Amino acid sequence: MTILVTGGAGYIGSHTVVQLLDAGHEVLVLDNLCNSKATVIDRIEKIAGKRPHFIQGDVRDRALLQELFAKFAITAVIHFAGLKSVAECSVKPLLYYDNNVSGSIVLAEEMARANIYTLVFSSSATVYGEPVFLPYTEAHPLKPINVYGQSKLMVEQILQDLAASNSAWRIALLRYFNPVGAHASGHIGEDPSGIPNNLMPFLAQVAVGKREYLSIFGDDYETVDGTGVRDYIHVDDLASGHLAALTYLDQHAGVVTVNLGTGKGTSVLELVSAFERASGKAIARQIVGRRPGDLPEYYAQADYAKRVLGWQAKHDVDRMCTDSWRWQSQNPNGFN
């Protein structure tokens, strides 16, 4: 059984590829490397003791997909390939819609042409938008507050319509909360280019001496300590959620939509403290103004994943920080 993993050289994709190889699957990675490095494939091999097939190419390249579907006996696709910068998406909306939405359409069309109907899609908690209630259940209203979130919701809706049109489809829409952490080996992890937008990689870069201090975006929210609260989830837990989804899709047709989170909120200050414990480093920080577009607080209702997929997150915030720190301290310049 070969699984096609689009975006498999990226942060979440690479961790998932390791687990797929460990579980005995053949894996084909398709990635255009717009936000990742080819050396990731070597690191995956180093961890798993097996090398995935790797093709550098774009998921919107129809001819390439046709070639790959003809050449490999692909039974399922995990579709990570997408752009994810909240800052960039409002400046380049067409790029985001083209990459994320058109990319998914081309992929689904070519899958159907090749009679491949099992698809796991990387969605995001960002599809919910401003919380009407918390924790977010899968039934929470969907009202994304940025182009990136819109692009994810559009793909969800397209895939729902597709499944309604043909009962052969087996689709999992996985809504990730905030993925952090790294593989326990320290060989793969998150390697953002330029200045990190997200909290954990920024924190890790302060600890390793690459950045002077962490800017905390607001301490006057109505949260436990005034700072933003998120549901951080270890990337290896997230990866195992994809294997659980594939197992579920073996038995079930149609669409399943599932939150992948821990169900637990952690504030910025709580994460900073956990990181200090994990790294033994004091994190210099400064409170600055709120970041436009940030929500004060959100976290998952995680019960549905447990019920339908038999999956739940195992790792706590301390473990997330320990693994992020191992990755960052062993690879201060990421994959470079």
Instruction: Output 145 or 253, the one with its CB closest to ligand NAD.
Output: 145
- Considering only residues 50 through 89, tell me which ones interact with ligand WQD, judged by CB under 6 A: 84, 86
Report the nearest approach of ligand NAD to the CB of residue 52 (Å). 13
Q: Looking only at residues 265 through 284 of this chain, which bind ligand WQD when binding is defined by CB under 6 A?
A: 268
328 binds ligand WQD (CB under 6 A): no
Count of residues engaged in binding ligand NAD, rule: CB under 6 A = 28
Round to whole Å and give the CA distance between 2 and 8.
13
Binder of residue 75, out of ligand WQD, ligand NAD, none (CB less than 5 to 8 A by kind): none
Catalytic residue annotation: 148
Q: Which of the ranges 8-16, 154-162, 200-208, 312-320 carries the binding residues for ligand NAD, by CB under 6 A?
A: 8-16
Q: What is the 3-state secondary structure (H, E, C) of the chain?
A: CEEEEECCCCHHHHHHHHHHHHCCCEEEEEECCCCCCCHHHHHHHHHHCCCCEEEECCCCCHHHHHHHHHHCCEEEEEECCCCCCHHHHCCCHHHHHHHHHHHHHHHHHHHHHCCCCEEEEEEEHHHCCCCCCCCECCCCCCCCCCHHHHHHHHHHHHHHHHHHHCCCCEEEEEEECEEECCCCCCCCCCCCCCCCCCHHHHHHHHHCCCCCCEEEECCCCCCCCCCCEECEEEHHHHHHHHHHHHHHHHHCCEEEEEEECCCCCEEHHHHHHHHHHHHCCCCCEEEECCCCCCCCECCECCHHHHHHHCCCCCCCHHHHHHHHHHHHHHCCCCCC
- Least distance CB 7 / ligand NAD (angstroms): 3
For residue 32, state whether it binds ligand WQD (rule: CB under 6 A): no
36 is a contact residue toward ligand NAD (CB under 6 A): yes
Binders of ligand NAD among 172-231, rule CB under 6 A? 176, 178-179
Q: Is 192 in the site for ligand WQD (CB under 6 A)?
A: no
Residue from 97, 217, 304, 335 touching ligand WQD (CB under 6 A): that is 217
CA dist list (Å): 274 to 50, 141, 230, 266, 269: 34, 32, 14, 10, 9
Tell me: does residue 38 bind ligand NAD (CB under 6 A).
no
- 137 near ligand WQD, rule: CB under 6 A: no
Query: Rule CB under 6 A: is residue 30 a binding residue for ligand WQD?
Result: no
Position 61: which residue type?
A: D
Query: With CB under 6 A as the contact rule, which of the stretches 29-37, 247-255, 268-276, 324-332 interacts with ligand NAD?
Result: 29-37
* Cα angle: 34, vertex 79, 50; to 5 degrees: 80
Binding mask 124-163 for ligand NAD (x = CB under 6 A): x---------------------------------------
Region near ligand WQD per CB under 6 A, out of 7-15, 28-36, 89-97, 198-206: 198-206
What is the three-state SS of 160-175?
A: HHHHHHCCCCEEEEEE
Cβ proximity to ligand WQD, 84 vs 315, nearer residue: 84
Report if residue 9 touches ligand NAD, rule: CB under 6 A. Answer: yes
- Residues at the contact surface with ligand WQD, assessed by CB under 6 A: 84, 86, 124, 126, 148, 178, 197-199, 202, 214-217, 228, 230, 268, 291, 294
- Residues at the contact surface with ligand NAD, assessed by CB under 6 A: 6-7, 9-13, 31-36, 58-60, 80-84, 99, 103, 122, 124, 176, 178-179
